[in-house]
Amino acid sequence: MKRYYIFLIIIQSTIFYSVNGQIIDDFSDGNFTDNPTWSGDSLYFMVNPNDQLQLNAPSIAGKSYLSTPNAIIDNAEWNFYVNLDFNPSSSNYVDIYLVSDVGNLTGLVYGYFVRIGNTQGEVSLYKQSWDKASSIKIIDGIDGRIAFNLVELNVKVTKSSGNNWELLVDTGLTQDFISEGTVVDGTNFFSRYFGIFCKYTSTRSNKFFFDNLSIEGDAYLDIKGPEIDSLIVLSDSSLMIYYNEFLHSSIAANLDNYFVNNGIGNPYHIDLQYDTIAILNFREKFNDAIENQISIHSIEDLFGNSLDNFVMSFTYQAPYIIAFGDIIITEIMADPTPGVDLPEYEYLEIHHPHNEIFNLSNIRFIVGNDTTNVPDLIIEPKEFIILSQYIAVEQFESFGRTIKIANWPTLNNRGEAISLLNQNDGLIFSIEYDDSW
């Protein structure tokens, strides 16, 4: 017998996106492909003879989802029925995505979901702002609430325009809801989809049932165009632009929407990351210490608002090339055995005698015929740093800052030349020691 606990069905066909901002689906039309349209792992779901949406996946452990468009998020109320024909666990549970910015619930999502199950046998509300591992429980439901071999419940979630959430459950199917808690959270402020995500083992792959979905409320109304939070000059031919909201990806990645003066022109490639960061790559190089202007237009957010005729200045500063005498070698330990108050390992000590901060990432370290690189590290003004092999680092740390050198070049006891070169093969420092020292 089909239960109608959430609302009264007046007609057989499913109502979807009614004029007052409401979504209803009771699956009485016998399908989930039309009015409303659910998409995702559609081959692994069906509408059963009881007019319920049912997981019907192969008998192997897996994850399956369905989602349907939904923009409701403010002054909102979500109602739905869930039946799990097993005792939920960390291997068998369902996440009901009330809010999601994308339809694919298996990837990167910004939204909120109700988890029914997990090890505590609870119903809880989570916030997700990246991958699943980033999810944070923001309403911790009562432990053991659904720790039964058969779980049936109605769930209600409300959210005010002031971002006040409340999670309620009705395990008796009497419409007598009990609050699991409240929270204030407005991190993810708009929605594009509602969805169902099932995690299951091989013996539970057809034991998830859903019905009587009702969502009502208001969509987030965005009438303001995107803005640029910051612009970073990455190199002499690339820029990184941070936007303050999600963008229409195909438009944000349109080469014609960006132009730099001084003969630079349009980028030849754009890498759009997370739909909020655009990395622009240009064929022409920016001149050192010359102010440029980038013009940006027709960039749209997900609501169709645009950023037009925006102009921003930037200047490329060529990195300082470490020069002769900027770094010097102050100690050489080529023959550490027998040790005298020092660990029995070879080392060099380098010193920065000036007042600037240097990054040594492009410095090459040459000993005789052997060459290796100094790792990416910052050396402060007047600082001394010990360079040695990996196994010696812990031994030397009591004497000062110690950095491991990969492929440590053995120092000849009888003496040889040691040089430091910059990225342009320019000499920074050179010395030739011998065993008489």
Residue 64 tokens, joined: 């399956």
Place of tokens 């612009």: 231
Q: Which strands sit side by side in the sheet containing 193-200, from one edge to the other?
A: 39-40, 62-69, 193-200, 93-100, 109-117, 122-130, 136-139
* Eight-state DSSP code of residue 276: T
Q: Which of 219, 252, 272 is the last residue of a domain?
A: 219
Q: Is there a domain that residue 400 lies in?
A: yes
Question: Do 47 and 168 reside in the same domain of the chain?
Answer: yes
Query: Does 287 map to a domain?
Result: yes
343 & 374 share domain: yes
Residue 9 lies in a domain: no
Q: Is 10 left (phi over 0), alpha (psi -120 to 50) or beta?
A: alpha
Q: How many CB atoms lie within 10 A of CB 235?
A: 14
CA gap 272, 267 in Å, rounded:
13
Say whether both 127 and 166 belong to one domain. yes
- Looking at residue 21, what is its pLDDT? 62
Bridging pattern class, strands 291-296 and 258-260? antiparallel
Q: Are residue 213 and residue 268 in the same domain, yes or no?
A: no
CATH number, position 274: 2.60.40.1220
Structural domain includes residue 8 = no
Distance, in Å, from the CA atom of 214 to the CA atom of 81, rounded to the nearest integer, reads 10
Q: How many domains does the chain divide into?
A: 3
pLDDT < 50 regions, the chain = 1-20
In angstroms, the CA 252 to CA 132 distance is 26
Q: Is the separation of the CB atoms in 418 and 430 below 8 Å?
A: yes
Read off the DSSP letter of residue 13: S
In 160-249, the DSSP E strands lie at 164-170, 178-184, 193-200, 208-219, 228-235, 238-243
Q: pLDDT per residue over 6-58, tens digit each?
A: 333 333 333 333 334 689 999 999 999 988 999 999 999 999 999 999 999 99
- Please state the pTM of the whole predicted model: 0.66
pLDDT of residue 302: 87
In a domain, 323, yes or no: no
56 and 105 part of one domain: yes
Considering the domain architecture, whether residues 293 and 255 belong to the same structural domain is answered as yes
CA distance 199 to 44: 12
315, 348, 374 - which closes a domain: 315
Are 208 and 269 part of one and the same domain? no
- Return the beta strands (E) in 325-416 as ranges: 328-333, 347-351, 358-359, 364-367, 370-373, 378-379, 384-388, 402-404
* 210/257 same-domain check: no
Answer yes or no: is 56 within a domain.
Answer: yes
Q: Is the dihedral of CA 405, 406, 411, 416 positive or negative?
A: negative
Residue 384 lies in a domain: yes
Comparing CA positions, the residue from 57, 88, 100, 92 lying closest to residue 195 is: 100
Determine which helix (DSSP H) or strand (DSSP E) holds 394, and give its type and residue range: helix 393-396
Q: State whether 300 and 360 are in the same domain.
A: no
Is the same domain home to 257 and 352?
Answer: no
Does residue 290 contact residue 280 with C-beta atoms inside 8 Å? no
Judged by DSSP in three states, 202 sits in helix
User: Is the domain of 209 the same as that of 332?
Assistant: no
Does one domain contain both 259 and 334?
no
Report pLDDT for 9. Answer: 31
Q: What is the CATH number of the domain that holds 137?
A: 2.60.120.200
201, 219, 237 — which closes off a domain? 219
Structural domain span for residue 406: 328-432
pLDDT of residue 339: 81
Residue 291 lies in a domain: yes
* pLDDT of res. 15: 34
